[in-house]
Chains A and B, each alone.
Chain A
């Protein structure tokens, strides 16, 4: 997404290159922030903070890591850390552990979630599940890239993504059935 030469110049102190670099990534940074924090104003704040941090920390970026995962790590960190919302999220693991409790999961999700569209459903996911979904679908990241960005083991990334999709699927099915569980 960004030429390595530009990144290198930015790292070596070329301010113009660094600004150009920031312009190239600002949309990606904003998009992740938007879906993680769920509203435009916080997303603007979080994205700007991320860009400032990238500006000041570019010297600490090491080329052995992918630049885009380094960037996403910074923005997800900021979003999860600072812009954490008090909204209730569905607790995924708690229920999925208990296999035969599946029916009641749906009941609870139904009750907790009156929202009717996929964005609000995403909003309901626990932060790391949401982050995995956002990186997978808004940044087109692979499992490995997500793992690098979030500093999670590969298996955890997969299990987060799978559970998140399963949960979203349940939510959407219930919406489609008009809120009546079959």
Chain B
């Protein structure tokens, strides 16, 4: 057992993750190794200090502070229920204008126009994101993983902004919380058409997923999405109608209850019969968003160099991670498919073969020597290339 392995044991011991035999091995090593003894002491001290961090509490009740806002949301939701009937709490939680309360049937035309605006805005955002992702130099990324997740996150974000809770969602996500009220009043609409818009954006933004780009550029599509959400009119003009139709139509879930509106918008392939399950339709992506958004963040904040140790295969089946001097390949479920030997040196270049069958990487040491390895994750083997 070398000191590097002991390090992991020490770490796991701190988390109570070691079995008895492993603990014994750890103690045995530490008895004979002054360096590890010192390291272990320091880690234990650190862990204790972390455990003793102040358990801070908010200076006043946060729930009390947001109660007015929650009531506002409730008012909007109940208006939604009256207006749209089947809309559930999740779908109707926001985005319903108060003025609809008084006259649920008259603003038909206005709502329809609004749909088009929102749809256009979101689609425009999706297209901008798509174009951006496609045109961005994929070689510069050296990071397929973050790109893949970035694209996913971009698509899920833009879909969620419309689909989960109407037009106030982008503001919740990108703007200040206290803007929510006004925006709800200003841009609110019944939730169903926006669900359609969300799907449209989803399919348009997911197209470039095959051409991943660097995660650090993810912000751009996000910002565009904000623009699309808060200023739909401006964006709508730049969104080709045929595109939005195609995207919406390509997705079976699209515009479920918005069939009536969809007709006016000449969206093809919208099935008017599909008016069931708005709640499910709008809630499911919302839940999914939490997950995908999270994945997207994986790629977000790291320095480019930091994320360059992970790479996802072209078809998304595998993720190769270079960490602790070895390559580990996980499948999409997070199961380890291959765990390489420790290599001395730094990873100098790496990538998946185009068919995704092999992961190749080059190790370089300080003295200029190095070699190239090829991993076959399906077979779980690694070979050194001549």
B298 on the A face (CB < 8 A): yes
Residues of B near A119 (CB, < 8 A) are 53
Q: Is B325 an interface residue (CB 8 A)?
A: yes
Known: A52-B70, A126-B301, A143-B15. A57 touches B344 (CB 8 A): no
Given the known interface contacts A22-B63, A51-B66, A94-B303, the answer about A56 and B51 at a Cβ–Cβ threshold of 8 Å is: no
In A146-175, which residues have CB < 8 Å from any B CB?
A: 150-156, 158-159, 161-162, 165-166, 168-169, 172-173
* Chain B positions within 8 Å of A55 at CB level: 66, 70, 73, 93
CB distance from A74 to the nearest CB of B (A): 7
With both chains docked as a complex, state the minimum distance between the C-beta of A88 and any C-beta of chain B, in angstroms.
Answer: 9
Which one, B50, B89, B301, B328, contacts A118 given CB within 8 A? B50
Task: Kindly provide the distance from the CB of B13 to the nearest chain A CB, expressed in whole angstroms.
Answer: 11
What chain A residues lie within 8 Å of B294 (beta carbons)?
73, 76-77, 150-151
| A105 CB, nearest partner CB in chain B, Å | 13
Q: Is A123 an interface residue (CB 8 A)?
A: no
- For the complex, what is the distance from the CA of A136 to the CA of B47, rounded to whole Å? 10
B334 to A154, Cβ gap below 8 A?
yes
Pick the residue among B57, B58, B177, B297 that contacts A49 (CB under 8 A): B177
Cα A20 to Cα B317 in complex, Å, equals 43
Q: Which of A23, A34, A81, A91 contacts B173 (CB 8 A)?
A: A81
Closest residue on chain B to residue A95 by CB atoms: B305
Chain B residues closer than 8 Å to A118, beta-carbon distance? 46, 49-50, 53
Q: Per-residue CB proximity of A4-44 to B under 8 Å, as 1/0?
A: 00000000010100010011001101110011000010011
- For window 68-124 of B, CB contacts with A under 8 Å fall at 69-70, 73-74, 88-90, 93-94
B279: chain A residues within 8 A (beta carbon) = 59
- On chain B, the number of residues with a Cβ less than 8 Å from chain A's Cβ atoms is 80
Most buried by B among A84, A94, A101: A94
Which B residues are CB-close (under 8 A) to A80? Answer: 297, 300-301
The answer to whether A128 touches B298 (Cβ under 8 A) is yes
A30/B89 in contact, CB under 8 A: no
Q: Chain A's interface: helix, strand, loop or mixed, by majority?
A: helix
A120 within 8 A of B: no
Residue in A29, A48, A128, A133 whose beta carbon sits within 8 Å of that of B65 in the complex? A48
Q: From residue B34, how far is it (CB to closest CB) to chain A in Å? A: 14
16 new A-B contacts at CB < 8 Å, known A57-B93, A162-B11: A19-B70, A23-B61, A45-B177, A53-B172, A60-B164, A77-B290, A80-B300, A80-B301, A91-B303, A94-B306, A99-B344, A99-B345, A128-B302, A137-B50, A153-B319, A162-B8
Chain A contacts to B: CB under 8 angstroms: 13, 15, 19, 22-23, 26-27, 29-31, 34-35, 40, 43-45, 47-49, 51-53, 55-62, 70, 73-74, 76-77, 80-82, 84, 89, 91-94, 96-101, 118-119, 126-128, 133, 136-138, 143, 150-156, 158-159, 161-162, 165-166, 168-169, 172-173
